């Protein structure tokens, strides 16, 4: 059975070297321009445009038709989407799957609501790839991936949260703290797939330390880590070094954020997915 994995572009997978699985793009829209979050998007250009633009901006997720197109004629499909707590993406994927099965009752689909985004989605996709490569059948993969998703988590460090607040994804009160000079908000994806603020740190160094502490408190013991950064490779490298001081053999990989994550995490933002 040929099993296809399709993730939305908030996973940044179209920017992860060596892992070009199918992604469906979200869009970033302003009154003047529209950015499609695919491999051809120039993220740096988008960021500098956003810095000089002061009007309204927002995002939209792929619609049912776009998901359906991505299904192609695969015999079986796993969709991996950004948290349903913040986006309609998973809902659209589910509707697409429903239509797909209506047309092809012999096929199989499983829509995963990651209750997360970015690098935690990368971990989930990598696990799916591993399970498919082992030749397991669809239902077994489905059971195993759900269990795996209980062991993955997401942390973030943000310098600004204006776009999150302006689009109603976080309370203006929390966003205000992030806007203060030198303050970094460190938080995690909650069980419901929404933003949970854990710390307000003065300076990046303290924020990275707080992230490591939060991982260890949650039971991190040297498992896989994926770090995505928005124009902040320095922090990503430092974070990875901090982890390796404690767990020298940890499998830590870094990559850049695509358009959607950069829009919301903003310049300097860091997202970290880990197993614990």
- CA–CA separation, 14 and 78 (whole Å): 17
**Rg of the chain taking only CA atoms, in angstroms:** 18
- CA–CA separation, 54 and 95 (whole Å): 35
Cβ closest to ligand X90, residue 60 vs residue 171: 60
Q: Which of 14, 42, 7, 16 is nearest to 227 (CA)?
A: 16
Q: Rounded to the nearest whole angstrom, what is the least distance from the CB of residue 47 to ligand X90 in the complex?
A: 14
- CA–CA separation, 231 and 256 (whole Å): 7
Q: Rounded to the nearest whole angstrom, what is the least distance from the CB of residue 133 to ligand X90 in the complex?
A: 28
Q: Which residues pair with 157 in a beta bridge?
A: 186, 270
Cβ closest to ligand X90, residue 23 vs residue 116: 116
- CA–CA separation, 187 and 190 (whole Å): 9
Cβ closest to ligand X90, residue 108 vs residue 229: 229
* Residue of this chain nearest to ligand X90 (CB atom): 87
Residue pointed to by tokens 């940044």: 12
Q: Rounded to the nearest whole angstrom, what is the least distance from the CB of residue 233 to ligand X90 in the complex?
A: 17
Cβ closest to ligand X90, residue 109 vs residue 117: 117
How does DSSP classify residue 186?
Answer: E
Cβ closest to ligand X90, residue 3 vs residue 123: 123
Q: Rounded to the nearest whole angstrom, what is the least distance from the CB of residue 1 to ligand X90 in the complex?
A: 31
Q: Which of 260, 267, 271 is nearest to 9 (CA)?
A: 260
Cβ closest to ligand X90, residue 132 vs residue 215: 215
Q: Rounded to the nearest whole angstrom, what is the least distance from the CB of residue 107 to ligand X90 in the complex?
A: 26
Q: Which of 32, 49, 5 is nearest to 262 (CA)?
A: 49
Judged by the rule CB under 6 A, the positions of this chain that interact with ligand X90 are 26, 59-61, 82-83, 86-89, 116-117, 154, 156, 169, 189, 193-195, 261, 264-265, 271
Please give the span between the terminal C-alpha atoms of the chain, in angstroms, as a whole number. Answer: 31
Q: Rounded to the nearest whole angstrom, what is the least distance from the CB of residue 132 to ligand X90 in the complex?
A: 26
């Amino acid at each position: 059975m040929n099993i296809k994995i399709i993730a939305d572009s908030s996973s940044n997978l179209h920017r992860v070297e060596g892992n070009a699985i199918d992604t469906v793009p979200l869009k970033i829209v302003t009154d003047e321009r529209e950015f499609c979050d695919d491999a051809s998007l120039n993220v740096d250009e988008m960021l500098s445009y956003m810095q000089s633009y002061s009007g309204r901006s927002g995002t939209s997720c792929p619609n049912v038709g776009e998901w359906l197109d991505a299904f192609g004629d695969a015999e079986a499909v796993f969709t991996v989407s950004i948290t349903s707590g913040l986006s309609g993406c998973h809902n659209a994927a589910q509707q697409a799957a429903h239509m797909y099965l209506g047309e092809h009752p012999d096929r199989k689909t499983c829509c995963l609501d990651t209750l997360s985004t970015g690098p935690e989605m990368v971990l989930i996709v990598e696990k799916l790839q591993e399970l498919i490569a082992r030749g397991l059948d669809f239902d077994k993969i489905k059971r195993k991936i759900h269990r795996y998703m209980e062991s993955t988590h997401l942390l973030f460090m943000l310098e600004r949260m204006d776009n999150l607040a302006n689009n109603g994804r976080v309370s203006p009160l929390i966003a205000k703290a992030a806007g203060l000079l030198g303050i970094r908000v460190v938080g995690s994806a909650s069980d419901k797939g929404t933003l949970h603020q854990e710390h307000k740190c003065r300076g990046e160094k303290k924020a990275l330390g707080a992230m490591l502490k939060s991982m260890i408190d949650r039971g991190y013991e040297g498992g896989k880590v994926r770090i995505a950064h928005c124009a902040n490779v320095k922090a990503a490298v430092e974070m990875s070094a901090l982890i390796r001081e404690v767990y020298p053999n940890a499998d830590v990989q870094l990559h850049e954020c695509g358009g959607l994550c950069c829009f919301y995490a903003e310049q300097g933002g860091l997202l970290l997915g880990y197993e614990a």
